[in-house]
Structure 1
Amino acid sequence: MIKRRLEKELNHLLAEFPAIALLGPRQVGKTTLAKELGNKEDKAVLYLDLENDEDIARLQNAAFIFEQYTDSCIVLDEVQRQPDIFRQLRPAIDKNRQPGRFILTGSASPALVKGVSESLAGRVAFVELSPINLLEALESGIGQEQHWFRGGFPNALTSKTDHAFSRWAEHFIRAYIERDLALLFGFNLSEKLIRNFWYMLASNNGGIWMAESYARALGVSGVTIKRYLDFLEGAFMIRQLSAWYVNVKKRVVKAPKVYIRDSGLLHELNRIRNSHELPLHLIVGSSWEGYVIEQIYQLKPRHMDMYYYRTHNGAECDLVLVNGIKPLAAIEIKYATTPSLSKGFYNVLDDLQVTRAFIITPGEKHYSLDEKTIVSGLQFFLENILGEL
């Protein structure tokens, strides 16, 4: 099994908080990790699956269960299926605040689940478990090319062949379209609309969000399409990268960019069946861009936020790393062996008053392009540069 870097942080949180909530998309390994964490506690483990009718019946009187197992670590799997459980957790935790009592897993953002209104501030630590990142894959002997093509879902990444990966991804996407999104959020969602919307997003990966354009193409209102976008983001399927416009005097684009978070799902949605087809496909550039952004997001320091920057005059930067309101670095993401920069990128450096710039490429070379700009492979950037910014 691939070792997850998040495990160390989770062990610390279990020693400090009465409960931790492990959030992330389905099939990312939350249940496996939660059971492992529970077994490492010096307590018995009670595992309850809130998608299992028998376990749901046992939790009809959740307060009684919590009272009977005060000395156990209780794992509650897929808590978004029973949002009322959050309300019942609050008094149980307040009555007995010993650390490591509960491990919750969920496949949907709590903010979008109907009924989750009780404040658990100070009682529960919310942590996102994303798909396996590049450094975790490399530590397990899986190369960057395979990780980029297949993405970070464990079953997809470790498939014996690209064909096996493609079959897994196809069924995963179908399950989300036909069943999972509606179950996660408790809404009656249109399968046809979800399918068409997801394919449109995949073909325009990294595009600037234009709600009305999508709405017209799909025959729905702007409000409806924004709700579906929020559901996909709340299910950890897409990422909205906000535009940076703080302390900027020029006219800039303010709408977010939208990316399919997992590169493997992006490739399946675009019908790319094996890694040899990817370099020849029209989306290869946007795929590499989204892949790099996702890896940086997972491994960046907590104080760092991520944006893109684009003016109406065409000056653009794929990624701006920011601490508070201070831009730290500007990053261009290039699928090229000998990358070059446009005049517009240097205008960005002047606009943002940034002194450090990077071009991230698929290769392994690391060298200075000019006095401000370094060309770097992704692995080198993640291991040696990102944490020092």
Structure 2
Amino acid sequence: MYKRQANQIVLSALEKQAAVVLLGPRQVGKTTLALWVAEQQPSVYLDLERSSDRQIMIEPDLYLDELAGKLVILDEVQQLPGLFKSLRGQIDTRRRQGFRTGQFLLLGSASNVLLHQSAESLAGRVRYIEMPPLLLDEVGTDRLNDLWLRGGFPDSFQADNSKSSMDWRKDFLRTYLERDIPALGPRIPATTLRRFWTMLAHAQGGLLNAAALAEGLGVSGQTVGRYLDLLVDLMLVRRLQPWHENVGKRLVKSPKVFVRDSGLVHALLGLETLEDLLGHPVVGGSWEGFCLEALIAAAPAGTEPFFYRTSAGAEVDLVLRLPSGRTWAIEVKRTTTPKVSRGFHLAVADIKADQGVLVYAGEHDIPVAQGLRAMPLASILETLRGL
């Protein structure tokens, strides 16, 4: 087992809030984390995908009244959407009994569903934490290429060999398409959704072209939007929005789209080995997406990510607006040459970035120009975590 940074984040949040919602795709390690938390204090764990555990919660107040003073962990809580009103009453009752924090840990794999269900009922009583797949600083920089190739789902990353890892990811994709997504309600043919997912992988990091996707699938643009919303909600795809504050510039307004886990990109495209990946046209988009996910995960809570592009050619791969109000402009290149384009410098000036960074494949942290540093991925992750 790898020591996950989310462990301490969740423990700290439970010390300050009555309820914590831990979000993340299936198989990312949420249950493992929750069971570890359960070992640290008196707790009760229920998996709401199990009919026996759902049966217990048919009359939630009768059961939960007996557990005051214990942490109640509810896994896949989106299975019981009506539960949140009861949880609000439970939290308020326990507060009056002197139990103000660390009452509920709620795990879920559909972010918007959970946010919608809990926003009104638990307003002011809950903190939301997203658990990413394994991160570079959790597995070690010596495993960087393995993490990029296999992705961060623990079972995929820790597989005995490349074939076993690929087989796990193919099974993961099949399970989502054939079981998990239909369980959420949408009636989408698995073959159609897989083609859509694969099309996104081929265009990894490109601007969203809903019309081209719709034509390729033989569906409407509205349907493409619905498919994309679903995969974003399941935290499997990221829709990176364009920076929009330079009114006087002709900005690109379409979002960029990334399959969030690089291992899933490679599974969708049948790229089993590093040699397969390095020889494929998606290599640049895959590396950019891998670095972006790591950078966003390492940034302080409350950071807003964007990209910047104008019709005149000014471009930044990732703009991070930090909670402090500072803005970082980050360019990602899989090269050992610490050099950026003129378009990057123009973009940095446009958005008035406080710090420019080139993430490159070299080993040293070096200044490139005034306000611009070239840094290995591991170095900038460490810097972001220290902010």
Which TM bucket (shorter chain)? over 0.9
Give the drift of 1:299.
0.6
**What amino acid does structure 1 have at the position aligned with 2:107?**
T
Residue of structure 1 in register with 2:106 after alignment: 104
- Say whether residues 1:223 and 2:218 are aligned partners: no
Residue of structure 1 in register with 2:4 after alignment: 4
Give the drift of 1:10.
1.3
Could you tell which deviates more after superposition, 115-124 or 71-80? 115-124
Deviations 1:278-302 (A, max 9, x none): 2221111111101111001101012
SS of residue in 2 equivalent to 1:96:
helix
Specify every segment of 5 or more residues in structure 1 that has no aligned partner in the other structure, as ranges.
none
- Say whether residues 1:368 and 2:338 are aligned partners: no
Specify every segment of 5 or more residues in structure 2 that has no aligned partner in the other structure, as ranges.
none
Distance across 1 between alignment mates of 2:187 and 2:82: 20
**What amino acid does structure 2 have at the position aligned with 1:76?**
L
SS of residue in 1 equivalent to 2:163:
helix
Could you tell which deviates more after superposition, 153-162 or 359-368? 359-368
Give the drift of 1:91.
1.2
Give the drift of 1:248.
4.1
Residue of structure 1 in register with 2:143 after alignment: 143
- Say whether residues 1:53 and 2:51 are aligned partners: yes
Deviations 1:168-198 (A, max 9, x none): 0110011111111222x32222212211110
Residue of structure 1 in register with 2:129 after alignment: 127
Give the drift of 1:249.
1.5
Which of the numbers 74, 81, 84 marks the counterpart of 1:83?
81
SS of residue in 1 equivalent to 2:329:
strand
- The answer as to whether partners of 2:214 and 2:220 remain within 8 angstroms in 1 is yes
Could you tell which deviates more after superposition, 216-225 or 280-289? 216-225
**What amino acid does structure 1 have at the position aligned with 2:250?**
R
Residue of structure 1 in register with 2:16 after alignment: 16
**What amino acid does structure 2 have at the position aligned with 1:261?**
R
Distance across 1 between alignment mates of 2:24 and 2:2: 17
Could you tell which deviates more after superposition, 8-17 or 231-240? 8-17
Give the drift of 1:113.
7.9
Residue of structure 2 in register with 1:160 after alignment: 160
Give the drift of 1:327.
5.9
- The answer as to whether partners of 2:78 and 2:113 remain within 8 angstroms in 1 is no
Residue of structure 2 in register with 1:31 after alignment: 31
- The answer as to whether partners of 2:318 and 2:329 remain within 8 angstroms in 1 is yes
Deviations 1:60-111 (A, max 9, x none): 1111111122233221111111111112211111111322222111111144
Distance across 2 between alignment mates of 1:300 and 1:325: 12
Change (3 A) 1:79 1:367: same
Deviations 1:306-343 (A, max 9, x none): 21111112221111222479662322111112243222
Residue of structure 1 in register with 2:301 after alignment: 302
- The answer as to whether partners of 1:49 and 1:78 remain within 8 angstroms in 2 is yes
Residue of structure 2 in register with 1:173 after alignment: 173
- The answer as to whether partners of 2:328 and 2:354 remain within 8 angstroms in 1 is yes
**Correspondences of 1:244-255 after superposition (within 5 Å):** 244-255=243-254
Distance across 2 between alignment mates of 1:16 and 1:317: 37
Change (3 A) 1:159 1:287: same
Residue of structure 2 in register with 1:377 after alignment: 376
Distance across 2 between alignment mates of 1:343 and 1:48: 55
Distance across 1 between alignment mates of 2:71 and 2:115: 25
- The answer as to whether partners of 1:368 and 1:375 remain within 8 angstroms in 2 is yes
Distance across 2 between alignment mates of 1:373 and 1:115: 43
Could you state the TM-score of these two structures normalised by the residue count of structure 1? 0.93
- The answer as to whether partners of 1:318 and 1:331 remain within 8 angstroms in 2 is yes
RMSD: 2.0
- Say whether residues 1:195 and 2:197 are aligned partners: no
Distance across 2 between alignment mates of 1:15 and 1:383: 25
Deviations 1:108-153 (A, max 9, x none): 1144788667421122222111111111111xx8511111111111
SS of residue in 2 equivalent to 1:272:
coil
- The answer as to whether partners of 1:130 and 1:298 remain within 8 angstroms in 2 is yes
Could you state the TM-score of these two structures normalised by the residue count of structure 2? 0.93
**What amino acid does structure 2 have at the position aligned with 1:73?**
L
Distance across 2 between alignment mates of 1:325 and 1:211: 35
**What amino acid does structure 2 have at the position aligned with 1:347?**
L
Distance across 1 between alignment mates of 2:142 and 2:222: 42
- Say whether residues 1:314 and 2:313 are aligned partners: yes
Change (3 A) 1:28 1:200: same
- The answer as to whether partners of 2:205 and 2:257 remain within 8 angstroms in 1 is yes
Change (3 A) 1:64 1:294: same
Residue of structure 1 in register with 2:211 after alignment: 212
Distance across 1 between alignment mates of 2:162 and 2:303: 35
- The answer as to whether partners of 1:23 and 1:106 remain within 8 angstroms in 2 is yes
Distance across 2 between alignment mates of 1:383 and 1:231: 32
Distance across 2 between alignment mates of 1:16 and 1:122: 12
**What amino acid does structure 1 have at the position aligned with 2:110?**
A
